Structure 1
Amino acid sequence: MILRSTLSAYRAAQVVVVIGVLMASLFVASYSIALGRPMPNHIPTAVVGDRKPYAALINTLQQQVDGALEFHPYPSRAAPEAAMKRQTMKAALILGPQPPLLLVSSAASAPVAGVLTAAVERVGEALAPHAAAPLHAVDIRPLPDTDPQGLIGFYVTFAATFLGFSIMFNLRAHEPRMSPRSWLAFIAVLGIVGGLALTVIADLMIGALRGPFLEIWAAAAAQIVVTALFTSTMIVLLGRWAIVPAWLLFTAVGNPSAGGAVSAPILPAVYAFFGHYLPTGATVAVIHNATYFHDARHPEPIVVQLLWLVGSLAALLISIRALHWTPVSDSDDVADIAVR
């Protein structure tokens, strides 16, 4: 009997080690592909003026960014600046009698602005190494000194994700008799209190993320709640193995595709696509837009957040009702814990 128990524990430990190594390996691979080697990819760029006289300049600029600039003609400089304000354009090439300008926006995407500014410098070295620069980069909406890389919103989202993810597993371990109604009430309180704490720290205490307080609070709270609801659903369905899908969705894929550390135009296409529809990417976008583009908000990330919120809650309630399990029970102890 003792030998059988020891062998069983040994096999269980082997499974845990194998899964842990696979998860860590996927983490390294995913982050390295998405964030370690960012490459320009489909950068919508407005262009004003006749391109023919500047063909050599444009070709050289495209060479520096691997042909990633997607040009859209505009009639005047004011029009692309308005488009950049709405974030439909990430840059604007202004051609005319004066030296050409490439308008960038660090507030829209610091990584994209950095890539394009570096490309402009290389264009000058290639075309006029001993003369005046043939192209100048102008940042029309720079980031503040409190958030020079535009990463604070991503950090708040990351913390909110970690909070919703980790607290659910701790709650399952330490409160094994909590009813579904109490569990849901706990998630609601966690979202409100956790979102408030993160917003107070980032905004009021250290002044790193200065934006509409209530909007940032709501976005952080929504991320905590969505993460907690999804993790709870996985706990109901998979028990102790719930960490695998929750970790994959929010850590291995959600974080690198969120557009926080590396924005969509320089992410691999697959990550850029999923980033628009995953909760982490939506939360990063909501916080970023509220902070730096409050005069031109986009409804899409808010809609994505709401869909994940409603969908995760529905999935949890359906799972509990169908399987008669609570988030704190699994197949080993269903008989001992009644759904109250």
Structure 2
Amino acid sequence: MNIRKVAIIVGSLLILSLFISTLGDGSSKAEGNGESDFSEVDAYIAREMERQNLPGLALGIVQGDRILYLKGYGQADSSGRPVTPETPFGIGSIGKSITAMAVLQLAEEGKLDIDAPIQRYIPAKFKGAQFITVRQLLNQTSGFSQISTFSNTLSSINDQDQDALEKNALSYAEKFLQNTKQTEHSYRYSNANYVLLGYIVQQVSGQSYGDYVKEHIFSPLSMQNSFVTHDEAAEHGLATPYRRIFGHNIAYDGPYIFIPGDAPAGYLYSSAKDMSHYLIAQINGGSFEDDSVLSPEGVRLMQTEPVPGTYAMGWMSGRMNGMPVIGQPGGVQ
């Protein structure tokens, strides 16, 4: 899939959405190189914040290898602290593409084979693992179901141990990898795929999932306000999460605010500025400034669905106002 070279990130206290679209070349200037007229963008954001009763959000617009526009809107918490482009938000399932990037990095280093059965990377007792490949986890064609993940989510809410991811991944393996027959599966979205991928990253790299992501993705992309735990993000100004209940947005501080065992599938934190850096790498063959986090071939693979209308590797395709886009919604429980 060809990606047009403009990207937009919007993060709100309710949800952070990431998508790629086209605005046209116009006369926009990169961040720091002068002022451009984004008054229509600001007006649109103001209307939507009022219409949806959004407390605050952050916006990043990227074109090619440049950030065109970064701005925070509204409040980050009840104190009235303003949202800035550096304010961290929970990015939900947008983090799946970060997990996919980690897996593909290890593949490019020759440390894993995405077409190998996952039995190579997880304990041998799970007999069904011989029939599912790493690629199938990435493309969500393993046959795992999303509805069956909720019991794991509920049981791991209070598990804040360092091995929470391993325990959750192996619990999914117990649930889904008992079938000992080869079966073809169509696309079916499930967090279990990406939790297992995060566990494989740990097994192959010898690092925790969080340490790997920080060293190999956040650091080279200068994502200085991106974090792998809620506590880290809170220390650096995390925006208060909200839930929409009967049309009203209510500040949320409940049990689902952070589930370490589900981190590779939906519990990472980032800012509009940092995600702009990430998008620059996504639309420039894996490169940001002088660093490369993935080859151009690897990026194309990430963004290509095996069958149109299914799932690439952390990305899905769609259309907005008639234009082709790729993206990934990002909400949490």
**TM more than 0.5:** no
Higher strand share: 2
- Please, what TM-score do these two structures have when normalized by structure 2? 0.24
- Structure having the higher Rg: 1
State the structure with bigger RCO (CA 8 A, min sep 6), 1 or 2.
Answer: 2
- Please, what TM-score do these two structures have when normalized by structure 1? 0.24
